[in-house]
Amino acid sequence: YTSKMAVCPCAQEQHLGRGTRTNIYLGSLLVWGREEEEEEEDEEDKWNNNLTDRKEIRVVLKILDQSHKDIALAFFETASLMSQVSHSHLVFVHGVSVKGSENVMVEEFVEFGPLDVFLRRERALVTPQWKYTVAKQLASALSYLETKQLVHGNVCAKNILVARRGLEEGTFPFVKLSDPGIALNVLSREERVERIPWIAPECVPSGAPIGSAADQWSFGATLLEICNNGDLPMSGSTLTEKERFYETRSRLTEPSSQELASFISMCLTYEPRERPSFRTVLRELTELQIKNPDISPLESLPDANP
């Protein structure tokens, strides 16, 4: 356990799903109040003397499958990276727990779950302004990482978590980008191909991202996913079809709004250097939102457009 933290014995609760080589469970974590961290008591005394200042918070436990050392190392590196960054639109990682042969990442539980599922469920209530707000929050987290020269590498609607619904009159949504999980370069080629069309084309062969450009592509694909209420074409495609899609430099169908379409296509450029920085993305999104407040999402799911 990281210091000042202990997973409560009853920690592992409901199974939330499977990720890339992980199983995700709801859990609870016992934490001590901040004030006590200053005092010179040892850990054991805290447990015994300050029972009232202990509180239990809900977390997710990402349990890594039994795996090769390289994978476990990459998993720890991600946890370490996530616990070193701090941004309101990045999920909070409490730390890792190594229990026997079990490697667990302990992460903030975000109440309303992944954005793709949320959009499919609430599509009737979600407005274009709601989507712009979410897109800007995501861009601000990625812009923060960009200034630190950090690459996320796994941006998609599934990895954006909804902390506030923002569907009621006068309220706004609030989202957090989740951890990227196992780094692309240690995943198999097949796992990278599966991530088409979110993964940047240049990352498919080796999984080595060329700076933030990889995230800029994924951001474009995620924006389309948001426009389409959580659906992207190709979800039913085979691995061969997916590979072929990038090999032939095909383009995804863009939304009907001309301005938004050209903005998204800037992100979805096969040449990494031609993609806009997140600084630019943030500025342009703000302008688009003001100039084009009523863009409606695509009525139906478009086909891939080779």
User: What are the residues binding Mg ion (CB under 5 A)?
Assistant: 159, 178
Please give the Cα distance from 84 to 120 (Å, whole number): 33
The residue within the footprint of ligand ATP, chosen from 7, 11, 19, 140 (CB under 6 A), is 19
Distance of closest approach, residue 175 Cβ to Mg ion, in angstroms: 13
Stretch of 140-148, 154-162, 233-241, 282-290 contacting ligand ATP, by CB under 6 A:
154-162
**Burial zone of 304 (CB within 10 Å; 0-12 exposed, 13-18 middle, 19+ buried):** middle
Residue 116's binding partner out of Mg ion, ligand ATP, none, with CB under 5 to 8 Å set by partner kind: none
Site for ligand ATP in 73-132 (CB under 6 A): 91, 107-110, 113-114
Alpha-carbon distance values, 120 to 16, 162, 195, 228 (Å): 18, 13, 20, 9
Task: Compute, in degrees rounded to 10, the torsion defined by CA atoms 242, 248, 249, 251.
Answer: -70
Distance of closest approach, residue 86 Cβ to Mg ion, in angstroms: 19
Residue nearest to ligand ATP (CB): 19
Distance of closest approach, residue 62 Cβ to ligand ATP, in angstroms: 5
Give whichever of 90 and 91 is closer to ligand ATP, judged by the CB atom. Answer: 91
Binding mask 174-213 for ligand ATP (x = CB under 6 A): ----x--x--------------------------------
Give whichever of 159 and 218 is closer to Mg ion, judged by the CB atom. Answer: 159
Contact partners, residue 101, CB within 8 Å, separation at least 6: 66
Residue 110's binding partner out of ligand ATP, Mg ion, none, with CB under 5 to 8 Å set by partner kind: ligand ATP
Applying CB under 6 A, the site for ligand ATP has a residue count of 21
Residue 215's binding partner out of Mg ion, ligand ATP, none, with CB under 5 to 8 Å set by partner kind: none
